Each structure stands twice: as structure tokens, then as C-alpha cells.
Amino acid sequence: MRILVALLVFSIIIIVHEFGHFLLAKLNGITVLEFSLGMGPRLLSHEFGGTRYSWKLLPFGGSCMMLGEDGDEDGEGSFGSKSVWARMSVIVAGPLFNFLLGFVLAIFIVGTIGYDVPVVYKVSDGMPAQAAGIQAGDIITKMNGKKIHLYREFANYSLFHPGETVVFEYERDGQRYEAVVEPVLTDGGYKYGISSINYREKVGPLGTLQYSAYEVRYWIDTTIDSLKLLLRGGVTINDMSGPVGVVDMIGDTYEESKSDGTMYVWLNLVNIAILLTANLGVMNLLPIPALDGGRLVFLILEAIRRKRIEPELEAKIHMTGLMLLMLLMVVVMFNDVRKIFM
């Protein structure tokens, strides 16, 4: 059951991403040859309206294959026959739909249990935060100019900015204050001396929409900060997870949540889905050949030059990028399997 639940969550996220490409392709008059879930040989397939809809053997990934997408066709209904702005909209639609899915799911979370308030629960004696004047009950609003809306934004700040002196802006009894805090290095990492709890507060309909947007933005920012940490060497490729690791994580969450009741199962799975869909959206926008971001780079260059880059050259670059991504996926998948059986 855990595997089925994990595959269902994973599949919904992929379908929404590919549906973004599919919908904008159809709206722009581009012929969609195949819309599929999964990879490899077809298990089920049906053709309707000039498009083949398929369910494939390997339950990872999916695709929206458009006529002339790889530059081998420029006739009527092909990808290349449309304006550069139309093609950009098709490419951007996939990641955008991932973010929209995250927003819709966040409405369920925030509407059900509220948002996590960035309130100070306790200030440790003798620590920098106490010396700076921060007290229990203060609500953190900014850290080094970055607006803080959620408890997790505050809690994870030192993870992505280790050792950084922080200018805290906070509210107390309706008044705004500012404090400069230099963290100290302990066995558990850099600490400000501030303890907090995941205290949630429910808000009205407009507040729910507002904090749902903050929720999605938090996961987008976390994904970007994690990539920066990877580039700085703060984490390694062994810390990354691919499809196998993601499925295992979802399955573990499902099993651990069952004892708390159906509602907690849904809340935890939806929370993971928000993380994954935001992650997929960001990763696909990276300027790497074969990814949406890589294709977008070529379209931006075309818009600037007012001349399309040679389709055959672009296709070769994307194919090279795809091969390297597949190699990376194999390495990550191997690590996922190794970690499961360790």
C-alpha cells in the first residue's frame, strides 16, 4: 500500500507538470503527438484528437511530446512554427503548473490547521539573542532584510547562512524593534539562543490565500538555497534523493502517520507533495540542456537575436544534456537503493 500511495503522489505531480505543457501547446495550436505518464514501453494507450495518451511501464517521469519539439519539423502545427513567445509560454507552463499545484495544496494545509507563526518561545540565558534584547513572545518579521512569514523560515535560516551575523526585526506588543545577533558555534551548529515551537494559527479566507502563497514561496526558496548549499559543498550528491528515494520517503511518511489518523495522513502527504511539486518546478527551470530552463535559454537568445539558433545544434546540445542527466539519475538512484538497504 505504501508504494501505491507514493506512486500516486509522484504521478499526480508529474501529470500536472506535463499537463501545463500540454494545455499551452493546445492553446497555441501546436500538435501534441503523445501525452504520457511514466517511461519505457506502453502499458495502455489510446489515441484521441490527434494525440496518443499513454501509461508506460516505469512509474517515474512523464512526457508531452510535441511535433517538431526537437527541431526536426517546422510545418503547420509544429513547435518551431509558432512565435518565440508562444513557445516560451509552453515551456514555462510546466513549472508554473507545479507552483500552482503547490498553492492549491497549501490552501488545504493552511485552511485546515493554519500557518506556523514565527514567534519566539524561549530565549536561552547567556546566549546572543538574550544579550540583544529579544524576549519570549516576540514575533520575528525580518532577518537581514528578508521578510519572515513562517516559523520554518526563521528556524532554517542558520542552516543556509551558517555563522552569519543577523539583524533581527521583530514585533512586541504592536511595536517594532531591531536587534543585531551574532550566533555562537555549539556542538549542534551555530545558535542564536532562540527556541521556538511549531505553533499554528488559523486565519480567514484572504489570510489563507496569502499564507498559502507564502508556503509555496518557502519551499521554492528552500530548494534554491539547497542548490546553493550543494554548489558551496555544504552537501554532497550522496545527500540527494531521486525517484526511488522520494517514493521511499513518501511511503515512510504514510506508514508513520497511520497511527495518528486519516487526517494526519492526508496532511503529511499533502505537505510532502507541496515540497516535491515546488522542487520539480524549480529544478526544471535550471538553465541545463534538456530541462525546461535549458530550452528557455535558447528561446531567450532567439528573442534577443531575432533569429532562431540552428535547430540541429540545439537538438544535439539537449541530447547531450539528457544523457548527462540520465547518468546523474543512475548515480542518485544507486545511492537511493544503497541507503534503503543500509
- Hey, which residues are catalytic here? 18
C-alpha to C-alpha distance for 34 and 53, rounded to whole angstroms: 6
- Cα dist from 65 to 43, 145, 229, whole Å: 17, 44, 34
C-alpha cell of residue 61:
517521469
In sequence order, the β-bridge partners of residue 186 are 189
- Cell numbers that stand for 302 in this block: 532567439
What CA–CA distance (Å, rounded) separates 265 from 12? Answer: 17
Q: Is the dihedral of CA 19, 283, 155, 261 positive or negative?
A: positive
The amino acid present at 261, given as its one-letter code, is: G
CB count in 10 Å sphere of residue 169:
17
Find out whether 51 and 32 touch, Cβ atoms under 8 Å.
yes
C-alpha cell at 130: 538574550
Query: What backbone phi and psi angles, to 5 degrees, belong to 118?
Result: -80, 60
CA pair distance 19, 139, nearest whole angstrom: 40
Distance CA 189, CA 6 (A): 33
Dihedral sign for Cα atoms in the order 52, 55, 57, 58 = positive
What are the cell numbers at 219? 519551499
How far is residue 34's CA from residue 37's CA, in Å, rounded to a whole number? Answer: 10
Residue by residue, what is the 3-state secondary structure of 278-297? Answer: HHHHHHHCCCCCCCHHHHHH
Q: What is the DSSP letter of 150?
A: S
